[in-house]
Structure 1
Amino acid sequence: MPHLDTPDLHITFDETGAQHGHPVLLLHGWPDDATTWNAVSSRLQDRNLRLIAPYLRGFGPTVFRNEKALRTANGAVLAMDAISLMDGLGIDRFSVVGHDWGSNIAEALAMGWPSRVDRMALLASLPRMGGLKTPPFRQAPLLVPLVHGYQTRRGSNRERSAWFCSHPVGELEPRRLVRRGDIQRCREVFRQSGLGSGRPA
């Protein structure tokens, strides 16, 4: 599995797609890991995208190299980890997709390094840092199945199951949407983001 060492971390990541394609950084949430993106990545192999999905600080095979390194989930610190990864890979400008806590990191990247992020997609997150408007309710049916439809090794654990059962979204409950096979909505959200074209804005 590819990895990159920084002074604080041994960052492990999955990399798929076109080696010289447009770079897209895929940031997972909690309690997931980089495998969150496997099903998405497999469907984008022919889109001229270079897909990079790191295991975030404290997850999976990404480990600390420095005992004084912060043990934190702070979005700004994790954004600095992402910049270190992209610097190490020689990537200057990229798109970023954040799911759950990864959305906070994506926002921190866009705010802290606006010249490097050419576009971003925030999935399963309320915008916090950048003052982006919360999408109108009519968009919720498009977003919910996309962000919760991923299958990960960690995604079937008890905490996630309990969250799905208690999430107060009624008819928009992810299990119901996925059970209905409503994948077309997921595709439409991804298409509208512009990433499905494989061409940067």
Structure 2
Amino acid sequence: MDMKRIRAGQLEIAYLEAGAASGPPVVLLHGFPYDVHAMTEAGRMLAASGHRVLIPWLRGYGPTRFLDDATPRSGEQAALGADLLAFLEALDLPPAVLAGYDWGGRAACIVAALRPERVRGLVSGGSGYNIQNIAAASAPATPEAEHRWWYQYYFHGERGRAGLTRNRRDLCRLLWKLWSPDWDFDDATFARTAAAFDNPDFVEVVLHSYRHRYALVAGDPAHAAIEQRLAAQPPITVPAIVLQGGSDGVDPPEGRDGDRRQFQGPWSYEVLPGIGHNIPQEAPAAFARAVAELARR
């Protein structure tokens, strides 16, 4: 895969590209705490079957950089959605299949909901409808869920800032183990991705993300209009496939997708047994198959 860069919105986005330039475009989007290596195997499969594959590093990861030192290092959902839309527009892509999980899945859901004319289909890993309801974020969840989300509360304080700054690799490796208990990844696999956490904006973007979603900090004013639209929890009307890991340690399946009502177009849901949170890297063939199915529609 070739690494390229393009100026898009607030960023110079670094991304991997593979496949035929004339093929149907698919954009694969990683989450926290992962990077483009979560998508490379699925991306190779898709490129080999004729797709144009684009895999960007999100803001705060790897070689992606902010264009202006004065831009807030926001990790809010609206910023992720704005980055993805700017990326699609900068490349002048026709309607693309967007596929992601965690932060990347959130960006994909946002663009699918707000700009469906840019989206051919959506593959959403994990909880499906991945747009935050910030107004309801203060309501307590079950004790089991609160326990799984300990890292989010850790990031709310300055102890968490110091811990993420000092121990980012050990902390992120711990999350990999907790979230994908059946995935036997090796040191080299983790090290390839962990280099992306050395981005100078990683800590600030991560902290802002986990504080903003609980309304603890203000967002970037540049994205306020998008956040206002997301507060209405807009439906997703494009064709969608939801994949959930049966062994996901942070977002376990409930036997069905409780967010089905938010999908108003063609929709399917599948639980992948033995797969954890990092679906595309743990089950690249299943992930690629879902993307290809939507690209054919």
Same fold, judged at TM 0.5 (above) = yes
Aligned to 1:35: 37
Distance (Å, rounded) in 1 between the aligned partners of 2:116 and 2:123: 14
Shift of 1:65: 1.1
Contact preservation (8 Å) 1:56, 1:62: yes
Deviation sequence 1:73-113 (CA, Å, 0-9, x none): 22221111111111111113111001221111111011111
TM-score, structure 1 normalization: 0.71
Matches within 5 A, 1:1-201: 1-6=3-8, 8-129=10-131, 157-167=169-179, 172-173=246-247, 177=274, 187-188=285-286, 190-191=288-289, 193=290, 195-197=291-293, 199-201=295-297
Match of 2:75, SS state, is coil
Distance (Å, rounded) in 2 between the aligned partners of 1:99 and 1:30: 9
Shift of 1:28: 0.6
Contact preservation (8 Å) 1:104, 1:125: no
Shift of 1:159: 3.1
Contact preservation (8 Å) 2:27, 2:55: yes
Match of 1:121, SS state, is strand
Runs (5+) with no aligned partner, structure 2: 134-168, 183-245, 250-272, 276-280
Q: Which amino acid aligns with 1:173?
A: S
Distance (Å, rounded) in 1 between the aligned partners of 2:38 and 2:94: 25
Distance (Å, rounded) in 1 between the aligned partners of 2:9 and 2:175: 36
Runs (5+) with no aligned partner, structure 1: 132-156
Distance (Å, rounded) in 1 between the aligned partners of 2:179 and 2:106: 20
Deviation sequence 1:127-162 (CA, Å, 0-9, x none): 24399xxxxxxxxxxxxxxxxxxxxxxxxx533443
- Which is further off, 55-64 or 68-77? 68-77
Q: Percent identity?
A: 24
* Closer, same or farther: CA 112–70 of 1 in aligned 2, 3 Å: farther
Shift of 1:196: 2.8
Match of 1:43, SS state, is helix
Shift of 1:34: 1.4
Aligned pairs, number: 169
Shift of 1:43: 2.0
Distance (Å, rounded) in 1 between the aligned partners of 2:61 and 2:126: 19
Contact preservation (8 Å) 1:37, 1:53: yes
Report the structure, 1 or 2, having the larger helix content.
2
Aligned to 1:143: none
